[in-house]
Structure 1
Amino acid sequence: MAKNNQYFEHESLQDKDAIISYLKALTEGIEKGEILLSDEEETLLLKPGKISLLRIKATNSKKNSELRLRLSWSNYEADSDKNAPLFIKAKKASKSK
């Protein structure tokens, strides 16, 4: 069975201006609904959903600092049956005979 998962990973040293440019491109991609990631080896097109989970983690120590940003979303349509509203109603218990 073929895997449907696509994967992209890139790691490189960048100066502050390049990082700002990449973050602006990500912001624009989220606004427009498509983010294209590519390097010399791989290409991946993402289509962010209208609602995403944002996770931010940061650490700071004497030797180094780290900031992690994570966005995740579901790839099914927002108007699918899985997003149908849920209704719960309490009913009075019937008297047992």
Structure 2
Amino acid sequence: MSSSANRFRHESLQDCQSIINYLIALKDGFESGALLFSTDGRNLVLKPDGLINLNVEAKRKGEEIKLSLKMRWSENEGGGNPEDQPLLIEPIKAS
């Protein structure tokens, strides 16, 4: 875990419900226009606005699974063009 005035990083093991709670908090923060990241008394506030570059990567290597979500935006520019091809992420019933 590390953070500074302009950087925040956290890594830990979490159960699925905790991940759901973090994703809900991200959703709520995007809707309200501000996200607070905090750990060990260190904080970083981000204010997403305008168009946001979304990068999704999912891969499987043997039994190891990786899912990465990255979002990038500029505080000074709300411009840019949205991607032409829509992304579909949907739940399916686990077997």
Q: What is aligned with 2:64? A: 64
Q: Which runs of 4+ in 1 moved over 3 A?
A: none
Q: What percentage of aligned pairs have identical amino acids?
A: 39
Q: What is aligned with 2:45? A: 45
Residue identity opposite 1:10 in structure 2: H
Residue identity opposite 1:68 in structure 2: S
Which of the pair is proportionally richer in strand? 2
Alignment gaps of 5+ in structure 2: 80-95
What's the TM-score, normalizing by structure 2? 0.73
Shift of 1:77: 5.2
Q: How many residues align?
A: 75
Alignment gaps of 5+ in structure 1: 84-97
What's the TM-score, normalizing by structure 1? 0.71
Structure-2 separation of matches of 1:68 and 1:41: 26
Structure-1 separation of matches of 2:46 and 2:14: 23
Shift of 1:41: 4.5
Structure of greater relative contact order (alpha carbons < 8 Å, 6+ residues apart): 2
